[in-house]
Amino acid sequence: MSSDETPNVPTPRNSREAVREKAQQVHAQQSRARIMRRIIIGAVAIVAVGAIGTAVTMAVTSTISKPTMSPKGMTSDGIVVQNVIESATEPVPSDPSAEPTEQATPEPSASLAAVDVHIYVDYLSPGSGEFERANARQLAGWINEGVATVTYHPVSMLTASSNGTKYSLRSAAAAACVATHSSAQFYAFNHELLIDQPEVDSNGSTDVELADLAVAVGADNPKAVRNCIEDADYVSWAKEATSRALAGPLAGSDDLVLTSAPMVVVNGEAYVGSLKDPAEFSQFMITVAADSDATPTPSPSTTEEPVETPAAEETPAE
């Protein structure tokens, strides 16, 4: 057992504030660019109404016939997190006014074999945010130590819970855009979406704001990521991935189906404990790993006894 004087919640507050400020700066720059574009488009529209009408018709036709695009670098509709930058896992209180509390968490590193963890998250689900805030720090440690393979699966179960903006669906699609065009920044983007969620039944972030956040966390290819998010490239994929998870079986399991978000599957077993208790989840990880490694082996007496048994003498002759 080890104790930590700080709560087990990821990302320091000053880092989060820096990300927010960066996103705001990106948003301001994009807003100015959009204003200029609107002025130019408006001027062109005055002299080319007919041409624009034709272009709109073609765009609508193209959208209707647009096939479902599939994200790259995904396994079973999930993104494997290869490593986590240390600065992204420093804890801060989920409530900024709360005092840090001491938490004792089992040290699983010595007990865990390679454990396969699949986390199904809806970016509007409060439970998904609670689990991330409580467990991201220790999950990051296990990832970096190579004792656990952690795969995040964005799903959209709460699409109808954002005043018609479909935030759950759009944010899942945005995560797929980051995974495809800037996979190294997926964890940071996923993490920010989970620890700073909009309220259920609120509008949530716009596509522009989601793209701004992706740029703020350091997307390698910001233009491609922004175009992907704002063009809704993977919205259809997000719908279909959610349907596949609801039908099952979930990745790494024989018969599990998605019933809620978050849903955490460890070596094929669903975690049903507290989403807010990292010690309970850590103990579950250790138990599942131990059960997976437990293979019956004959005892020395079992292997030696057949030498002395008279069974061979009692076998009828052919």
Q: DSSP label at 75?
A: B
Give the pLDDT band (50/70/90) at residue 288: very high
For the chain, percent of residues with pLDDT exceeding 70 = 63
Domains of the chain, by residue range, sit at 67-94+104-293
The pLDDT of 136-145, averaged and rounded, is: 95
- How are beta strands 263-266 and 2-4 bridged, if at all? unpaired
**Model confidence at 164: pLDDT above 60:** yes
User: By mean pLDDT, which of 167-171, 173-177, 278-282, 306-310 is the weakest?
Assistant: 306-310
User: Between vectors from CA 72 to CA 69 and to CA 78, what angle results, nearest 5°?
Assistant: 100
> What mean pLDDT is reported for the chain?
79
Q: How confident is the model over 21-74, as pLDDT tens digits?
A: 667 666 666 655 565 566 555 544 444 444 444 444 444 444 444 577 999 989
Q: How confident is the model over 148-162, as pLDDT tens digits?
A: 999 999 999 999 999
Q: Tell me how far apart the alpha carbons of residues 272 and 263 are, in angstroms, rounded to a whole number.
A: 9
Write the CB contacts of 12 (distance below 8 Å, at least 6 apart in sequence): 87, 90, 91, 92
Note the pLDDT of residue 291.
Answer: 87
The pLDDT of 103-127, averaged and rounded, is: 77
The pLDDT of 76-81, averaged and rounded, is: 96
**Model confidence at 93: pLDDT above 50:** no
**Model confidence at 77: pLDDT above 70:** yes
108 close to 282: Cβ distance less than 8 angstroms? yes
Note the pLDDT of residue 129.
Answer: 98
Note the pLDDT of residue 49.
Answer: 41
Q: Enumerate helices (H) and strands (E) in the chain, giving the number of each.
A: 11, 7
Three-state secondary structure call for residue 150: strand
Note the pLDDT of residue 304.
Answer: 43
Looking up tokens 């599939």, which residue turns up?
Answer: 70
Task: Say whether pTM exceeds 0.85.
Answer: no
100 close to 7: Cβ distance less than 8 angstroms? yes
Note the pLDDT of residue 3.
Answer: 46
**Model confidence at 314: pLDDT above 60:** no
User: By mean pLDDT, which of 13-22, 120-129, 163-172 is the weakest?
Assistant: 13-22
Give the pLDDT band (50/70/90) at residue 12: low
**Model confidence at 180: pLDDT above 70:** yes
Q: How confident is the model over 226-267, as pLDDT tens digits?
A: 999 999 999 999 999 999 999 999 998 999 999 999 999 999
Give the architecture-level CATH label for domain 67-94+104-293: 3-Layer(aba) Sandwich (3.40)
Three-state secondary structure call for residue 154: strand
Q: Tell me how far apart the alpha carbons of residues 133 and 79 are, in angstroms, rounded to a whole number.
A: 19
The pLDDT of 204-228, averaged and rounded, is: 97
Half-sphere exposure of 154 (CA within 13 A, CB side): 32
**Model confidence at 193: pLDDT above 50:** yes
Residue 102 vs residues 8, 27, 130, 278, 311: alpha-carbon distances, Å: 9, 38, 18, 12, 63
Give the pLDDT band (50/70/90) at residue 85: confident
Note the pLDDT of residue 142.
Answer: 95
Half-sphere exposure of 266 (CA within 13 A, CB side): 22
Q: Tell me how far apart the alpha carbons of residues 153 and 186 are, in angstroms, rounded to a whole number.
A: 12
Residue 208 vs residues 1, 29, 45, 171: alpha-carbon distances, Å: 45, 12, 24, 11
Q: Tell me how far apart the alpha carbons of residues 103 and 198 are, in angstroms, rounded to a whole number.
A: 27
Dmax (CA) for the chain in angstroms is: 106
Q: Which residues pair with 2 in a beta bridge?
A: 105
Note the pLDDT of residue 44.
Answer: 43
Please give the torsion angle defined by the CA atoms of residues 103, 109, 112 and 115, in that order, rounded to the nearest 10 degrees. Answer: 90
Q: Tell me how far apart the alpha carbons of residues 293 and 278 are, in angstroms, rounded to a whole number.
A: 23
